[in-house]
Amino acid sequence: MAAPAEDRDGWRDIRAYLKSAGFRFAALFAVLFLAAILGFALMLWWGTAGTLSRQLDDAIRADAIGLQEAWRGGGTAAVRDAIGERLAVDIDDHAIYLLMDGAGNRLAGNLDRWPGAAEAPGSWSGDMVRRDGVAVPARVYHLPLDQGHRLLIGRDATDREKLRSLLSEALLWSFAVAVAFALAGAAALRRALADRLRAAAATAGAIAAGDLSRRVPLSTQRDEFDQLGESMNAMLDRIDQLMIGIKGVSDSIAHDLRTPIARARMRLEHALLTAPDEESLRAAIETTVADLDGISRVFQALLRIAEAEAGARRAAFASFDLATVLTDAAEVYGALAEERGQQLETSWPEKLTMMGDRDMVLQAIANLLDNAVKFTPEGGTIRLRASAPARGKREIIVRDEGPGLAAEDRARAGERFFRADPSRALPGSGLGLSLVKAVAALHGGELRLGDGQAGAARPGLEARLILSSRA
Amino acid sequence: MPWVLALLVFLPASAFAQQATPRLISDSPQYCAELSGRFAALEIEAPTHLRVLADEGRQLCAEGQTRSGIAKLRRALKEAQRGE
């Protein structure tokens, strides 16, 4: 009873084999190889046997034209003489002629009767004639004349048929050898493909099974398969980095949001248990709502960073004027700076067109200005500048007069939830520069941080946002 | 005896086919004589070696080797016509 199941498995294996890319490539190779051989055989045939046939027909045609002229000039007698003369000097003994009148009487030539295959006037035919009792192939042409007369002109085609026969045999053998080579080549090609892909398939299988550390082994050949392997390895490295990033974000969320959520819970619980009146309870709830709004903002910021990093908004890229965006941002933060006794100095060209996500760029500029306002002391100056330093580049510089960032903190400034020690006392989530960095990457640029005034007691921070205007 | 029946059917058919196939008649003693007559018209002006060639052809025809005789006579005729 196991036999039918085995048959089904066998049939499935055969179908899988026939559908495999290796088999299809191998079959394509075999077909192309055989097509090339067939083309070569046809050319050879056309150049040899074909040429011989055409020469034979040309000779008969020329002969027919000459005899037709003789007929017009002197009728039966002239044609009879012409045939006699032609046969008399036919050393090769290849010529065939037969002149008959309307009544079917033989008038001249070296054939005893009219061949059956050449009945139709103007027809060409391959017929057999007997020479010394042996049937030999002949090529004949039926030339109709006036008054029911007709003339048969032909040539012995034995040589042509011999050549055809020899050529056919040689080509048949060649084709058989070519088929054998094509099949052997196809099998070798399929095996080579399977061998080269086996390593990549094994790596993919191991990764699917959970071993993310595996990589595709590369050969020294540096061919297309190695390029595919390199691409796969680069993809796996990227996935690895993203996994580490996701883990880091998860840890950060768990660590940084646990405290405010726990605080909100405690405040509500405390108010529930100890609030002396409705007024106190309401105040506790309002504070908690504000805390929860802050948590919500953090989530929104995280989502925007994730969106920018994933490049999902690239489809929404459009041309916009960066100068207008800077003006909008300066208007909002200029007022805020003024409230805090600071000054905002601005400078950029009248027009700075670029391709990108306007909202994201505005958000990034706002984050930089927000930091600058936060860290600049009263009476300080914040500078917002923008320019096109090179073709296809846009640069936005925000410089403050705050405490600045230590070199080791600058390296970590783009990490989510990272906050340098001096800023821990100030409000913030540690996501502002992460978003700026993500927006820079989305626009094919980068964020560079440096001292505003190197060597000063309060060096300040200079954030240089470089974007590609062509995206 | 089906093979006997097949033989009876095949033999007449084969004989008929042989009869129906046109036959070349330019290898007959009569044609030999015709070529000899054609050469005789050119013989006076023909060089000696061509006359010898034609004689050999006539001789072969007389001995029954018609095709070889005809071939020699044709060569002699062609050479003689070329010399004219």
The share of chain A scoring above pLDDT 90, in percent, equals 35
CA distance B48 to chain A (A): 19
Residue A464: pLDDT band by 50, 70, 90 thresholds? very high
> Do both A149 and A90 map to the same domain?
yes
In a domain, B78, yes or no: yes
Residue A4: pLDDT band by 50, 70, 90 thresholds? low
> Do both A27 and A115 map to the same domain?
yes
* CB spacing of B27 vs A132 below 8 angstroms: yes
User: Which residues of A193-280 form beta strands (DSSP E)?
Assistant: none
> Do both A204 and A234 map to the same domain?
no
| pLDDT given at position A84 | 92
Q: Which among A296, A325, A356 is the end of a domain?
A: A296
- Residue in chain A lying closest to B25 (CA): A110
The one-letter amino acid code at A320 reads: F
Residue B84: pLDDT band by 50, 70, 90 thresholds? low
Number of domain units in chain B: 1
A90 touches chain B (CB under 8 A): yes
Q: Look up the domain containing B79 and give its range.
A: 26-84
Does A260 or A319 have the greater pLDDT score?
A319
In a domain, A19, yes or no: yes
In a domain, A306, yes or no: no
Q: Look up the domain containing A284 and give its range.
A: 215-296
The answer on pLDDT for B6 being more than 60 is no
The SS3 call for residue A321 is strand
In a domain, A5, yes or no: no
* CB spacing of A88 vs B27 below 8 angstroms: no
Mean pLDDT is lowest, of A84-88, A241-245, B59-63, for A241-245
pLDDT tens string A145-158: 988 899 999 999 99
In a domain, A6, yes or no: no
User: Quick one: average pLDDT of A48-60?
Assistant: 90
In a domain, B66, yes or no: yes
CA distance B1 to chain A (A): 31
d(CA A67, CA A84): 12
Q: Provide DSSP, A375-430.
A: HSPTT-EEEEEEE--STTEEEEEEE--S----HHHHHHTTSTT---GGGTTSS--S
pLDDT tens string B14-70: 444 555 789 998 888 899 999 999 998 887 788 889 999 999 999 999 999 998 999
CATH number of the domain that residue A393 is part of? 3.30.565.10
Number of domain units in chain A: 3
User: Which residues of A231-329 form beta strands (DSSP E)?
Assistant: 318-321
Residue A224: pLDDT band by 50, 70, 90 thresholds? confident
In a domain, A1, yes or no: no
Most A CBs within 10 Å: which of B14, B18, B19, B24, as the mutation test of the A interface? B24
In a domain, B62, yes or no: yes
**Do the Cβ atoms of A471 and A356 come closer than 8 Å?**
yes
> Do both A154 and A189 map to the same domain?
yes
A210 touches chain B (CB under 8 A): no
| pLDDT given at position A435 | 86
> Do both A182 and A257 map to the same domain?
no
Q: Can you tell me the ipTM of this complex?
A: 0.80
Q: Which among A296, A325, A357 is the end of a domain?
A: A296
Query: Which are the contacts of B29, defined by CB distance < 8 A and separation ≥ 6?
Result: B61, B66
> Do both A337 and A418 map to the same domain?
yes
> Do both A224 and A337 map to the same domain?
no
In a domain, B76, yes or no: yes
Q: Which among A209, A243, A272 is the end of a domain?
A: A209
| pLDDT given at position B75 | 93
> Do both A177 and A29 map to the same domain?
yes
> Do both A220 and A204 map to the same domain?
no
The answer on pLDDT for B1 being more than 70 is no
**Do the Cβ atoms of A113 and A128 come closer than 8 Å?**
no
Q: Which of A170-179, A182-191, A252-261, B51-60 has the highest mean pLDDT?
A: B51-60
A96 touches chain B (CB under 8 A): yes
| pLDDT given at position B12 | 47
CA distance B55 to chain A (A): 16
Q: How many residues does chain B have?
A: 84
| pLDDT given at position B19 | 52
Mean residue pLDDT across chain A: 87
* CB spacing of B78 vs A89 below 8 angstroms: yes
In a domain, A205, yes or no: yes
In a domain, B16, yes or no: no
Residues of A in contact with B21 (CB under 8 A): 128-130, 135
In a domain, B52, yes or no: yes
